Structure 1
Amino acid sequence: MKVSPTIRVDNEVYEELQKRATPFVDTPNSTLRRVLGLPEKATQSGSTAVAPSSREAALSPLLADRRLRPGQRLVWRRRNLNQVHYAEVLANGTLRLEDGSVHDTPSGAATALAGNTQNGWTVFTTEDGILLREMR
């Protein structure tokens, strides 16, 4: 799996990206692609990538039976690196990271944070300390 490079922007640029983004649909990358006039990113099969909000996300069943709620914060405490990451559960079952990126699965979110393959079901917990894998 190829990991995308990370870019850092100042608060003013980030706020402008947020203004230009469609809530619950765009990621910083899709907003930048539109602003820069680049075509939508194609998947390996050649079809256009589907926005996370338009397909079933991995956490949808946990929202449906109220084990999770929209707006709830999940935590990944990386003690060996002395880092704490947060992800917000969105109403459609996706996860939004602090950088504004949206991911369909906990593993996709954890992988984006770590820069290498991660199992998000075993690293993310609720703020009460309950592992996602225990909620399935």
Structure 2
Amino acid sequence: MSRRSIEIDDEVFAFLQSHSEPLVDSPNDVLRRLLLGSSGRPSTAMAERRPGGLMPFIRAGVLKAGDKLIHIQPRRGLTHEAAVTADGWLKIEDGREFSKPSPALKAQTGVDINGYAKYALKEDPEVRLQDLREQVRGEI
């Protein structure tokens, strides 16, 4: 099999990361899965994505599809919002979807931030994803 090189911008790379299994998938693996599916032929693999990082929260009943999460940057006067999808992903304001909170928040702020520590429930900003994570872990 011959190898070719391509250049991609940071936004495309972030998208590939959001669809990858850390330390398992290469960017080529993600592109192959998204573009060709398991059959090796073009498919609608995007509809077959795996559950996102918030799926355990949904199963435990501490989050539901449509719940809103926020991150407030008081010094900059900015509030970033993300919605929980039915399959445990986060959909940010520009329509992009991420399987985990930290890449979603990085896409919104431009810096690496722990999404579990910084995203909070919009309806109750005192409750962070980290609080819910600890609650879900306690139920296992």
TM-score, normalized by length of structure 2?
0.64
Gaps of 5+ in 2: 1-7, 17-24, 35-45, 134-140
Identical aligned pairs, as a percentage? Answer: 25
- Shift in Å, 1:57: 1.0
Alignment of 1:1-136 (within 5 A): 4=10, 44=26, 46-49=28-31, 50=34, 51=46, 54-127=49-122, 128-129=124-125, 130-136=127-133
More helix per residue: 2
Q: TM-score, normalised by structure 1?
A: 0.65
Q: 1:3 to 1:107 in 2, by over 3 A?
A: farther
Listed as ranges, the gaps of 5+ residues in structure 1 are 6-28, 31-42
Which stretch of the first structure deviates more once superposed, 53-62 or 82-91? 53-62
Change (3 A) 1:53 1:121: farther
Report the structure number with the largest CA radius of gyration.
Answer: 2
Alignment RMSD: 2.6
Label 1:105 to 1:54 Cα distance change in 2 as closer, same or farther (>3 A).
Answer: same
The answer on whether the counterparts of 1:52 and 1:104 sit within 8 Å (CA) in structure 2 is no
How many residues get paired? 101
